[in-house]
């Protein structure tokens, strides 16, 4: 019984993280969209303008926070959906480990891209 209550507490904490990342993601994506509204759409897609965005440290931090928040929220959502398909300890552990690894890989690659585009990695 003690193990079950610990598992339920753990899952409730994970779901709190899911809700918080969802709310924070809405905020940072809204800021991102507002920043895009001040520039004409066609010029915002030009290579020089995109690279200039990465050199703006505030914008780079905004992009990194979007990457992290959306990744955590999205992969946790996929994890929850996959956990509903089956109910076994092996399945739960496999799904959790796989989604964490996939999330780390995605965030690492995205962070690498932001660093290289910023010019810090060159």
pLDDT digits (tens, 9 = 90+) for 27-50: 999 999 998 888 888 888 888 888
Specify the pLDDT at position 81: 95
Average pLDDT score over the chain: 88
The confidence band for 5, taking pLDDT boundaries of 50, 70 and 90, is: very low
Positive or negative, the Cα torsion across 82, 86, 87, 88? negative
Q: pTM surpassing 0.75?
A: yes
Answer for the pair 117, 54: CB distance below 8 angstroms, yes or no.
Answer: yes
Specify the pLDDT at position 121: 54
Q: How many residues does the chain have?
A: 122
Phi, psi dihedrals of residue 40, rounded to the nearest 5°: -55, 140
Helices (H), the chain: 2-37, 41-44, 47-55, 57-85, 89-118
pLDDT digits (tens, 9 = 90+) for 82-91: 999 998 999 9
pLDDT beyond 70 at 6: no
Answer for the pair 114, 54: CB distance below 8 angstroms, yes or no.
Answer: yes
Q: Which domains does the chain have, with CATH numbers?
A: 2-118 (1.20.1300)
């Amino acid at each position: 019984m003690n193990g079950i209550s610990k598992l339920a507490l753990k899952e409730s904490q994970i779901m709190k993280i899911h809700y918080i990342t969802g709310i924070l993601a809405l905020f940072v994506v809204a800021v991102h969209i507002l920043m895009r509204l001040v520039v004409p759409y066609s010029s915002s897609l030009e290579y020089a303008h995109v690279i200039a965005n990465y050199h703006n440290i505030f914008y780079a931090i905004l992009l990194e926070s979007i990457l992290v928040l959306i990744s955590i929220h999205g992969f946790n959502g996929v994890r929850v959906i996959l956990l509903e398909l089956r109910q076994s300890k092996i399945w739960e552990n496999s799904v959790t480990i796989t989604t964490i690894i996939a999330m780390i890989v995605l965030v690492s690659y995205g962070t690498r891209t932001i660093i290289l585009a910023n010019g810090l990695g060159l």
